[in-house]
Amino acid sequence: MKLTLHQIGMIVSAENDYQSFPDFVIGNIEFDSRKIKDGDFFLPLKGARDGHDFISLAQKNGAIATFSEQDISAMPYLKVKDNLTAFQQLASYVRAHSDIKVIAVTGSNGKTTTKDMIAAVMSESCHTYKTQGNYNNEIGLPYTIMHMPEKTEYLILEMGQDHFGDIKLLSEIARPDIAVITMIGEAHLEFFGSREKIAEGKMQIQDGLLDTGLLVIPDDPILEPFINAQRVKRFGTMGEVFITNFKEGKSKSTFSVNFAEGEFEIPLSGIYNANNALLAIYVGLATHQLTISKIHHALANLKLTRNRTEWLTSESGIELLSDVYNANPTAMGLTLDSFTELPGQSKIAVLADMKELGSDSKALHQSMILHLNPEKIQRLFLYGEEMWPLAELAAEIYPRGAVRFYQKNANIDEQSDLIVDLLDSISNTDQVLLKGSNSMHLDQVVEKLLEN
């Protein structure tokens, strides 16, 4: 949607005399002054640096106007109390006045993969745009809305939750036609205190759901007290929609569903990924825009965001299963279970700390022992202080020397030792799983192994 400076000023109730400036159509709205092109609008945000300090640089790069929380003289501007709030108001207006359908996706695990799958399915028949990368927060979601192409018919929005109330804000901006929750796990337990509170926060995706909207949730009893949507569909073994005939390979899975014909194939292993695909199939059919054959084609030819359950092969032939973007106990357990059952003679697991688990962190890390079988995963490389309790337990059931632990704290980081030991001990007959929270930077370990 093309808007002029004066239109934006009216939408956000700008406090200055913006009508004294010439009116003109703006290009993109950018909060990074380095991305500014001629005709763009600058959004100064407060982070490590105050974005107001970059207004002159944005103008030099081509910005023709800016939001500002203070009076300036350098260029046309819209004065508001809070730049981010104004940006969110603008995105909400654009969504409300655009002829699009919005599908929102959240969950403790699988939301990015599910978003990618739904977008792939919808792209078979409709002009579709989706959240790019990890732009799923109070800045990224309105940014996605403001950057969707003019021809967009379906907008697939990922919604992240770090604190209670995050999903409420995002949902009220996005006003979804369909809202999907992939699962309720323990992500950000440190900030929520309980899994019930996480569930309550996720269910705030209903707060912006249209009155005629559809809510798709897992068959998890923890969600039931928070349901207020009129149309609800549950998925899972006890739900109305579910998977049948699941068959898993190293780099692909096949399955059927109880509500559509044919066998579906995805280029991913793991029943959890099949469940993500189940959601894409159901949502695609619920829009009445797709045929079964187009959904089959979309899922078989998926291209996903990097570092999420991605099989890679090193130069020497080592097979790596990289899932290093994020981690929580439910996701790590599911990944270990799937990895355990894949065909292959020798398996190694490289596990790093799962962050933001609060006072339950020790017990939740120790619980991974339930997913570790020395006969199936022969060697463990555990990285980070939170992994030490698991290392102690694993040493009791694994042969001597099969479990190795590497520190990472404020004073010591033994990642380089981890890399050296991995390179010394793995061969091209091994399959290696790498899983941990993004802040543990296992992606750097992956890159070094790929070079070997």
**Cβ neighbours around 289 below 10 Å, total:** 17
Architecture of the CATH domain 310-451: Alpha-Beta Complex (3.90)
Q: Which CATH number fits domain 5-82: 3.40.50.970, 3.40.30.10, 3.10.20.520, 3.40.1390.10?
A: 3.40.1390.10
pLDDT of residue 389: 96
pLDDT of residue 307: 56
Pairing assessment for the beta strands 319-323 and 310-313 based on DSSP bridges: antiparallel
For residues 308-326, one letter each, b for 16 or more C-beta atoms within 10 angstroms of the residue's C-beta and e for the rest, the string is bbbebebeeebbbbbbbbb
- For the chain, which ranges sit under pLDDT 50? none
pLDDT of residue 229: 96
Residue extents of the structural domains in the chain: 5-82, 98-300, 310-451
pLDDT of residue 74: 86
Same CATH fold assignment for domains 98-300 and 310-451: no
Task: Write the pLDDT tens digit of every residue in 391-447.
Answer: 999 999 999 999 999 999 989 999 999 999 999 999 888 999 999 998 999 999 999
Architecture of the CATH domain 98-300: 3-Layer(aba) Sandwich (3.40)
